C-alpha cells in the first residue's frame, strides 16, 4: 500500500458518485477523491466491490465509465481477494439480516474492514455508518 496512514475502504457508492457527473454526491466525491490521491492515502477494496462497480457502471453509464474506472481508480486500489472464510461470514450476516436493501457485497465489505482493522470508508451507502464505520467524505 502507498501511504503511511490508516487505510480507507473504497465502496461502489463512492466510485459511482465520483464517475457519474449527474449523481447528487458527485462534487463531494470528486473533491474527496482528489484529496485522497494527493495525500497518497492507502485505498483498499475487495474483488467483490470491483465486480459490483463494473456491473453498475456498465449498466448505468456504459463501457466508457468502466474503462475510466479501470484506468484511473483500480490502479491506486489495493484489492483484497475474498477467501471462503470472509465470504461465508458475510453470507451468514447477510442472510440473517434478511433485508432486501442490504447486499452480500456490503456484508463481505464490512467483514473485510473488520478483519483489516479499518474504520473509514469512501462511501455514500448509509449501511456503512449503521455498521459502525465512518463514511467519508
Total-model pTM: 0.94
Q: What is the pLDDT of residues 48-90, one digit of tens each?
A: 999 999 999 999 999 999 999 999 999 999 999 999 999 999 9
Chain-centre distance of CA 102, in angstroms? 14
Q: What is the pLDDT of residues 87-117, one digit of tens each?
A: 999 999 999 999 999 999 999 999 999 999 9
| CA pair distance 71, 78, nearest whole angstrom | 14
Taking phi over 0 as left and psi of -120 to 50 as alpha, with beta for the rest, 98 belongs to left
Sequence ranges of the domains in the chain: 8-81+118-125
CATH of 8-81+118-125, one of 3.40.50.1010, 3.40.50.150, 1.25.40.10, 3.90.1580.10: 3.40.50.1010
Amino acid at each position: 500500500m502507498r501511504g503511511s496512514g490508516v487505510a480507507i475502504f473504497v465502496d461502489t457508492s463512492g466510485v459511482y458518485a465520483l464517475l457519474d457527473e449527474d449523481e447528487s454526491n458527485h462534487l463531494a466525491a470528486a473533491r474527496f477523491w482528489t484529496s485522497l490521491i494527493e495525500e497518497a492515502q492507502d485505498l483498499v477494496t475487495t474483488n467483490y466491490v470491483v465486480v459490483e462497480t463494473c456491473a453498475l457502471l456498465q449498466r448505468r453509464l456504459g463501457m466508457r465509465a468502466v474503462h475510466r474506472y479501470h484506468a484511473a481508480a483500480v490502479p491506486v486500489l489495493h484489492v483484497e481477494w475474498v477467501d471462503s472464510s470472509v465470504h461465508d461470514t458475510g453470507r451468514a450476516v447477510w442472510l440473517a439480516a434478511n433485508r432486501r436493501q442490504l447486499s452480500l457485497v456490503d456484508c463481505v465489505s464490512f467483514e473485510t474492514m473488520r478483519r483489516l482493522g479499518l474504520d473509514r470508508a469512501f462511501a455514500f451507502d448509509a449501511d456503512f455508518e449503521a455498521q459502525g464505520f465512518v463514511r467519508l467524505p
